[in-house]
Amino acid sequence: MKKSCVNLVVAVLVFIVYLAGCARNEPPVIDRFVTDPASDTLVTTGDTVKIVCEASDPDGDLLAYEFEADGGTFTESQDSAVILWIAPDQSGIFHIICTVSDGDTLHEVADTLVIDVQNYFPMAVGNRWSYESRLFTDTIKLEITVTHSNDLGDGRIEWHIKRDFEASAGNIADDTFSYYTVVGDSVFSHEVLFNLKYLDYLPLLMPLWVTKTWNADEDIATGTVEEKDTVGTDGGIFFNCMRIELRDLDNGEQNRTLWVAPDVGIIKQMVPLSFGSIEFSLVEYEVE
C-alpha cells in the first residue's frame, strides 16, 4: 500500500512538471511582415513581389511558416520566411496571410499584408479599343489593337499595339500611323506622320498614384497623375480613373491629357491644338 502511494505521488509530480512545462511554452511573435522593398504594396499585374516574414520565439523553438493568398501564386517554398508572390492578372486589393507556428497548434500566430494590384493597360494579343472624335464637321476614328509580343529574354515581354486613324474627310489623319510598345511597367508612344517620326514619349509609367511624376520625354516633358475621376463615355461609366497630364518642362504648358481606367486602359485622351483641342473618347473595347 505504501509503495502504491509513493508511485501515485511520483506520477502526480511528473504530471505537475509536465503542466508547468506546457505553461512556460510561449507563442511565437511576428516581428515584421513586409514587402521588400516596402513600396511593393502597390504593384501592377504580373509583378513579382518579395515578401518577408520575420518572427521569433521566446522559448527558442523551431518555427514553421505557412503563407496563403486570395489571389496570385507563390513561386518558392511556402515553409520559408521569405517567399516570392506573383500578382494576378486582374486588378484589386489582395491579402497575403502568414501563419507562424512553434509546433503547437495552440500557439500559432498570423498577420496579414495588403497589396494593391493595378492593371491600367491590360495586355493580350487581340485586345482592342475604339475611339471617336469630332474635328469641326469631320468624325475621326482611332483604333488601337494589340498585334503581337516579343520575349526579351530577361523576364520582360515587349507588347506592340498598333494605332490607326480614319477620317471621314480627306485630311492629315488619313495618313497617320502610330503605335505603342509596352515593356514591363513602361508604356511608350511612337507617333508617325507621313512615315516621319515626330513624337516619341512615355505617357504611362506604372504603378500609378495621385501626385506621381515622371520624365515623359527626355527632359522635355513630364507626366503627372493629377487625380482620380469617374468618367463616362459611349463605352460605359468608369470608376477610379487616373487623370494624367503631360506638360512641357520649359513652359509648363499642357500638351495632352489621358484618362486610364483599371482593367480597361485609356478611355479618353485630349490633345491641345493651336485652335482648340481634339478629344478621343472610348466607344467600345474588347480586353482579356
> pTM for the full model?
0.76
Which class is domain 30-118?
mainly beta
Query: Is the predicted pLDDT of residue 12 greater than 50, yes or no?
Result: no
| Residue keyed to cell 498598333 | 162
CB atoms within 10 A of CB 85: 25
- Predicted confidence (pLDDT) per residue in 42-66, tens digit: 999 989 999 999 999 998 889 999 9
Helix extents (H) in 86-162: none
Q: What's the rounded Cα separation, in Å, for the pair 47 and 157?
A: 12
Helix (H, G, I), strand (E, B) or coil at 209: coil
Query: Is the predicted pLDDT of residue 1 greater than 60, yes or no?
Result: no
DSSP 25: -
Contacts of 203 (CB under 8 A, 6+ apart): 187, 189, 216, 223, 244, 246, 256, 258
C-alpha cell at 75: 513561386
Q: How far apart, in Å, are the Cα atoms of 8 and each of 5, 12, 16, 18?
A: 5, 6, 12, 15
- Predicted confidence (pLDDT) per residue in 89-140, tens digit: 889 999 999 999 988 767 789 999 999 999 998 989 999 999 999 877 778 8
Mean pLDDT within 134-151: 86
Q: What's the rounded Cα separation, in Å, for the pair 286 and 288?
A: 7
| 127 close to 286: Cβ distance less than 8 angstroms | yes
- Options 3.30.70, 2.40.30, 2.40.360, 2.60.40; CATH for 128-286 is 2.40.360
| 95 close to 72: Cβ distance less than 8 angstroms | no
Q: Where are the domains of the chain?
A: 30-118, 128-286
Contacts of 83 (CB under 8 A, 6+ apart): 50, 51, 67, 74, 75, 76, 77
| Residue keyed to cell 504593384 | 43
| 50 close to 58: Cβ distance less than 8 angstroms | no
